[in-house]
């Protein structure tokens, strides 16, 4: 058993701790018996088929959905606790779907991320400007910071909403399908940015994506979720397609030894 300083270090090593989590939505058990720990500075990718509970897990971690059973701790306290204000940032699937008629520049959008309950009424404008400058610089949009978001490409929009998350100075960034709707070059560029945020800026990233190949190229660790966690380990050890089928309980329909006819 850990005591004193060693116990404190053990607690601080994990940004997220999920224990025996089960969640019901619309009367149906969507995820069950989820046990998960994410250490500071990790880049963790969650994959799984449609309806497997990926977004439900994220919404539970954020405190938007209530658990049927189990517990979640972020920085040692429950989701949405006051001490976590500004320390967690969420980039939702729809975050970059900004209406074309909304007149807002990249800089204005990113500045919104710097507003929290701690500075809403007494903002330190100089500090906010420094934070916003840094966030825009980190995502590579400095040259276009005064451009309307509506005029950006899909990849640039995604970078802009990530910059908004960075402007909150959050340590833990949660992304739900950030690669949807952006081309291959922008996707590679965005994944490189996320990797740099972990290595160079000390961020912890949890990302859900259907893009299995992209996550395998970038994340340090992968989780395969289908109601419960069926794989959790280093990306290099992630199962191939045949093994994934076995994880899902899907058996070959053809007998390879005897061949088959079309």
Closest listed residue to residue 31, CA positions, set 71, 78, 77, 68: 68
pTM: 0.80
Q: Is the pLDDT of residue 220 over 80?
A: yes
Which are the contacts of 44, defined by CB distance < 8 A and separation ≥ 6? 38, 205, 206, 207, 219, 220, 221, 222, 223
Vertex 219: Cα angle to 56 and 60 (nearest 5): 15
Higher pLDDT, 98 or 226: 226
Which are the contacts of 158, defined by CB distance < 8 A and separation ≥ 6? 96, 178, 179, 182, 186, 190
How high is the pLDDT of residue 151?
87
Q: What is the mean pLDDT of residues 223-252?
A: 83
How high is the pLDDT of residue 152?
87
pLDDT tens-digit readout, 152-191: 888 888 889 888 888 887 889 999 988 887 788 888 888 8
* CATH dotted code for 15-87+208-246: 3.40.50.300
Please, which pLDDT band fits residue 8 given cuts at 50, 70 and 90? very low
Domain boundaries, the chain: 15-87+208-246
Q: With b meaning 16 or more CB within 10 Å and e meaning fewer, what string describes 158-187?
A: bbbbbbbbbbbebbbbbbbbbbbebeeebb
pLDDT tens-digit readout, 21-60: 999 999 999 999 999 999 999 999 999 988 899 999 999 9
Q: What is the mean pLDDT of residues 117-123?
A: 50
Q: How far apart are CA 193 and CA 9, in angstroms?
A: 29
Q: How far apart are CA 258 and CA 224, in angstroms?
A: 33
- Give yes or no for a contact between 35 and 19, defined as CB atoms under 8 angstroms apart: yes
């Amino acid at each position: 058993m850990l005591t004193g300083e060693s116990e404190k270090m053990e607690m601080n090593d994990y940004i997220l701790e999920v224990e025996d989590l089960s969640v019901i939505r619309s009367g149906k058990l969507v995820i069950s018996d989820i046990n998960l720990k994410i250490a500071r500075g990790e880049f963790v990718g969650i994959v799984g088929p449609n309806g497997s509970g990926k977004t439900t897990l994220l919404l539970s971690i954020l405190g938007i959905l209530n658990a049927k059973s189990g517990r979640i701790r972020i920085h040692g306290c429950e989701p949405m606790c006051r001490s976590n204000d500004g320390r967690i940032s969420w980039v939702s699937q729809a975050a970059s779907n900004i209406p074309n008629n909304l007149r807002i520049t990249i800089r204005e959008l990113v500045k919104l991320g710097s507003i929290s309950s701690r500075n809403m009424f007494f903002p330190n404008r100089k500090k906010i400007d420094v934070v916003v400058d840094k966030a825009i610089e980190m995502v590579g949009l400095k040259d276009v910071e005064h451009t309307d978001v509506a005029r950006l490409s899909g990849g640039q929009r995604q970078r802009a909403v990530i910059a908004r998350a960075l402007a909150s100075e959050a340590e833990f960034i949660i992304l739900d399908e950030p690669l949807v709707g952006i081309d291959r070059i922008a996707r590679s560029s965005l994944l490189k940015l996320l990797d740099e945020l972990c290595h160079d800026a000390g961020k912890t990233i949890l990302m859900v994506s259907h893009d299995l190949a992209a996550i395998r190229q970038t994340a340090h660790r992968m989780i395969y979720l289908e109601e419960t966690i069926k794989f959790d380990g280093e990306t290099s050890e992630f199962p191939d397609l045949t093994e994934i089928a076995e994880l899902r309980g899907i058996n070959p329909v053809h007998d390879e030894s005897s061949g088959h006819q079309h």
